[in-house]
């Protein structure tokens, strides 16, 4: 570090007799001194013009008594200073940078894909002439942007070779709602990217309500359709996809389930936060989902004598054509692999709890587990084989199952419980739930489906058909009579 000068001086004295000295270190100007009995040092710029501007602000702050040391600023609740005049790209970058640290990589990428449409509109030359900075955005901008979205054509999943189609009304609302969230975030006093008095131009009448689906629409996968799917299943599909046709769980619940989380005595699948909080379900709920007794043979074949590891395995791992990258012989081995994966992750990857979950799920796949994408791809292939056409997708299976649970008399609270939704409301304080008892009524209602699974198991030779064994009656041994 060497002496330097700004405005022709090395030392600048304020009106309250505080001396500020200018130094140069690695090409950066630093202002140092003592304020309120404590030393301070602050980098004020990489070039002379920037450093002079910051030095003037610093001297005024010291005279006004509003100066805060750089080491004390993280402890402050509100950000100081005038908000920067950001363009739309700069505001989006600041928003995505914070979201990456708070909600994880996957959610930040979802936000980024939605804000890409905002940048595509805002950076048009005709638009930039009227709205140069993000703070200049007004109601007219939002009206024009909404019209741009309604007419915009995009390819499916961003694939350039796919046919471009109009953005769906639901996605138009998602993009507008994301922009509204970003502007509301930017004007928070703790963020200070826009002035606090700035009115959010993305008002409710322009963003609108999220499009709602018709509650009277027919189920996409009624019982007869699911039975037809069973008839076209091969061995692997029957053991690993049959569960999706019966239980109302999310895909990530199935793919993340471990062998030691199956209660074969009570016939329940256990879901909870695990691995010291590194992995959790979508609702962060702890719940048990009962399964029918008729699935016991399929469950035993899925477990295949293993003590640990993922319950549902990839096709090549299940068939023995490929070994998993991480071998598991006990639940301790699984915990060790996950701790090792979290410990060896590259710096900067783990910034939010969702990042820990992403690493855990990747580690489960390394143990031979199946991914959500692989499950969806297999279901799509099965739909084609069974002749299921139309707009049906794998996630609609869950709605069809919930519809049949409702028709079978399963209460709303139990439906919310076994699907992993929160039951923390007033009614839950006065009602005791019986998931196993109520799910039995649903299992009776879908008995044709369960019988189809059993029949297909016998056709594939997975379950042997044997006559029922006659139960032996054990009698106490006859004691010899005493001789006279």
For the stretch 443-461, pLDDT in tens is 999 999 999 999 999 999 9
Average pLDDT over residues 460-476: 52
- Identify which of 89, 88, 111, 90 has the alpha carbon closest to the alpha carbon of residue 99: 111
pLDDT score of 32:
95
Give the pLDDT band (50/70/90) at residue 192: confident
DSSP class of 260: G
- For 439, the enclosing helix (H) or strand (E) is helix 435-445
What does 282-293 look like in DSSP terms, one character per residue? TT---EEEE--G
Domains, the chain, in order of start with CATH, read 2-64 (no CATH), 88-207 (1.10.150), 223-423+432-460 (1.10.443)
Does the structure show a pLDDT above 60 at 484?
no
- Report the distance separating Cα 98 and Cα 419, nearest Å: 31
pLDDT score of 196:
85
- Report the distance separating Cα 137 and Cα 157, nearest Å: 29
pLDDT score of 346:
92
The predicted model scores a pTM of 0.77
Terminal CA-CA length for the chain: 119
Quick: pLDDT tens for 95-149.
999 999 999 999 999 999 999 999 999 999 999 999 999 999 999 999 999 999 9
What does 304-362 look like in DSSP terms, one character per residue? TT-SSSBSSB-HHHHTTSS--SS--SSHHHHHHHHHHHHHTSPTTS--SHHHHHHHHHH
DSSP E strand stretches across 95-225? 153-155, 164-166
Give the pLDDT band (50/70/90) at residue 178: very high
CA distances from 108 to 93, 171, 252 (A): 11, 16, 19
Give the pLDDT band (50/70/90) at residue 190: confident
Average pLDDT over residues 412-419: 93
Give the pLDDT band (50/70/90) at residue 389: confident
User: At a CB cut-off of 8 Å and minimum separation 6, what does 167 contact?
Assistant: 117, 149, 150, 152, 153, 154, 175
């Amino acid at each position: 570090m060497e002496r330097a000068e700004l405005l022709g001086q090395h030392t600048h004295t304020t009106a309250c007799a505080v001396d500020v000295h200018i130094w140069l270190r690695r090409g950066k100007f630093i202002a140092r001194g003592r304020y309120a009995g404590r030393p301070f040092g602050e980098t004020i710029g990489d070039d002379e013009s920037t450093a002079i501007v910051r030095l003037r602000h610093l001297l005024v702050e010291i005279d006004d008594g509003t100066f805060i040391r750089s080491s004390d600023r993280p402890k402050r609740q509100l950000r100081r200073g005038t908000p920067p005049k950001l363009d739309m790209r700069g505001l989006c970058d600041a928003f995505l940078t914070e979201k990456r640290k708070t909600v994880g990589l996957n959610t930040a990428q979802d936000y980024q894909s939605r804000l890409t449409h905002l940048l595509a509109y805002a950076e048009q030359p005709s638009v930039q002439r009227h709205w140069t900075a993000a703070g200049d955005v007004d109601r007219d901008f939002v009206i024009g942007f909404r019209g741009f979205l309604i007419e915009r054509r995009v390819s499916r999943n961003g694939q350039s070779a796919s046919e471009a189609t109009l953005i769906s009304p639901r996605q138009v609302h998602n993009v507008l709602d994301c922009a509204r969230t970003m502007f509301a975030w930017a004007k928070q006093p703790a963020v200070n990217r826009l002035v606090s008095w700035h009115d959010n131009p993305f008002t409710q009448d322009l963003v609108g309500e999220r499009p709602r689906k018709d509650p009277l629409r027919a189920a996409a996968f009624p019982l007869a359709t699911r039975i037809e799917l069973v008839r076209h299943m091969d061995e692997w599909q029957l053991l690993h996809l049959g569960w999706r046709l019966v239980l109302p769980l999310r895909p990530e619940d199935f793919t993340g389930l471990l062998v030691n989380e199956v209660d074969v005595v009570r016939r329940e699948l256990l879901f909870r936060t695990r691995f010291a909080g590194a992995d959790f379900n979508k609702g962060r709920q702890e719940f048990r989902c009962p399964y029918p007794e008729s699935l016991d043979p399929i469950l035993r074949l899925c477990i295949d004598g293993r003590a640990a590891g993922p319950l549902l395995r990839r096709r090549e791992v299940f068939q023995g054509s490929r070994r998993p990258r991480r071998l598991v012989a006990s639940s301790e081995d699984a915990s060790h692999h996950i701790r090792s994966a979290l410990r060896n992750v590259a710096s900067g990857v783990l910034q939010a709890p969702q990042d820990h979950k992403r690493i855990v799920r990747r580690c489960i796949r390394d143990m031979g587990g199946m991914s959500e994408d692989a499950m969806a791809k297999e279901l799509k292939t099965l739909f084609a084989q069974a002749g299921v056409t139309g707009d049906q997708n794998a996630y609609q299976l869950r709605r069809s199952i919930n519809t049949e649970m409702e028709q079978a008399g399963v209460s709303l609270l139990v439906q919310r419980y076994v699907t992993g939704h929160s039951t923390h409301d007033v009614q839950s304080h006065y009602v005791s739930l019986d998931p196993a008892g109520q799910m039995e009524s649903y299992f009776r209602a879908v008995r044709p489906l369960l019988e189809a699974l059993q029949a297909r198991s016998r056709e594939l030779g997975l379950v042997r058909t044997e006559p029922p064994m006659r139960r032996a009656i054990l009698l106490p041994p006859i004691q010899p009579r005493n001789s006279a």
